[in-house]
Amino acid sequence: MAIKLRRGWGLMTTGHSHDKAAVLLALHDGPGFVLPNAWDAGSARILEQAGFLAIATTSAGIAWSCGVPDGGPLARDTMLEHIGRIVAAVDVPVTADLEAGYGDTPDDVGRTVAEAVQLGAVGGNLEDARSGGLFSLDQAADRVAAARAAAPRGTFVLNARTDTYFAGTAGDAFAETVERAVRYIESGADCVFVPGVVDEDTIRRLAAAIPGPLNVVAGLANRIDAPTLFSLGVKRVSLGGSLARAALSMVERAGRELLDSGTLGFLDGAISYADLQRHFAIPPGPDSGVGITGLSVRGG
């Protein structure tokens, strides 16, 4: 099936079906793309309408929206419930942040991936660390292989994340990152995610040494812009919890202004109520209700 991509209209395909996994995978063959991370259905719809061809979820943003810290407090079923809402809200491909797979064994990882697939996710991140420490290389590779077995190649874009620069290693971080990346790709990963890298030279060397598309997160450990990352060989630039952090920072600033002065300066430049209503309008049709009740025409 030939695939054509057009900004602002999600995806177009020639053939008998819209294969979202194929669209997401095809983005990795281009010059590079930005993958924004949504934390709820509303943020996902805003990002889709901005023109992004695919959207990721953020475990950090979802955790914060539930009032808990990132890093595991949310149960697997709760996280999957939120992922499902995001997938259902948009037409573009969604790749899910599945953290370390929510389980002790490879079989647990496989079940998590299978459930994400059932929800409609066409990709997912899988971390190789938990509680601040890396899994052994063999353990991590087995978990990647289990994820791949649960979602065959071509149906799900598996992004293997290595936390060598976050959790630390006993030896050379660059060498271990490349070793793990090679093993993960051999185990079935489509691409490799290396968060925590801060300097351009290391990113360039990683992109050259890893035999697959490289994903780097911007706005976390570094603030290198996307065009520069693409010039270094990065194919996929994600944002992690950065958009959620920016949104929650705005809430905090607005709250402080209201407490300190009672003024409404925080509304300068804010999207209007009417415009947001248009963003979230439900298209007419037999399925237009999508389970939403109690819609209000008031300004509250």
For the domain that residue 9 is a member of, what is the CATH number? Answer: 3.20.20.60
* Of 42, 187, 268, residue with least CA distance to 162: 187
Q: For 190-230, what is each residue's pLDDT tens digit?
A: 999 999 999 999 999 999 999 999 999 999 988 999 999 99
Q: Bridge partners of 125? A: 97, 159
- Distance of alpha carbon 139 from its chain centroid, rounded? 24
> Which pLDDT score is estimated for 15?
31
Max Cα-Cα span within the chain? 60
* Statement: residue 18 has pLDDT above 50: no
Summarised one tens digit per residue, pLDDT across range 284-296 is 654 544 444 333 3
Give the C-alpha distances (Å, rounded to integers) separating 75 from 59, 78, 95, 107, 288: 11, 5, 19, 17, 31
In a domain? residue 8: yes
Q: Is 125 helix (H, G, I), strand (E, B) or coil?
A: strand
Q: Number of structural domains, the chain?
A: 1
Say if 129 falls within a structural domain.
yes
Measured between alpha carbons, how far is 76 from 115 in angstroms, rounded to an integer? 10
Residue 161: beta bridge partners?
Answer: 127, 193
Mean pLDDT of 89-116: 97
More confident residue, 201 or 6: 201
Rounded CA gap, 55 and 121, in Å? 10
Q: Assess if residue 259 is contained within a domain.
A: no
69: left (phi over 0), alpha (psi -120 to 50) or beta: beta
- Please check whether residue 241 lies inside any domain of the structure: yes
Residue 231 falls inside a structural domain: yes
Q: What is the pTM of this model?
A: 0.89
Domain presence at residue 123: yes
pLDDT value at residue 284: 63
Q: Break the chain down into helix, strand, coil percent, rounded to 5.
A: 45, 15, 45
Q: Are 232 and 226 in contact (CB under 8 A)?
A: no
Q: Considering the domain boundaries, does residue 283 fall inside one?
A: no
Residue 248: phi and psi, rounded to 5, are -70, -30
Which domain covers residue 181, as residue numbers?
Answer: 3-15+26-247
Residue 41, in any domain of the structure: yes
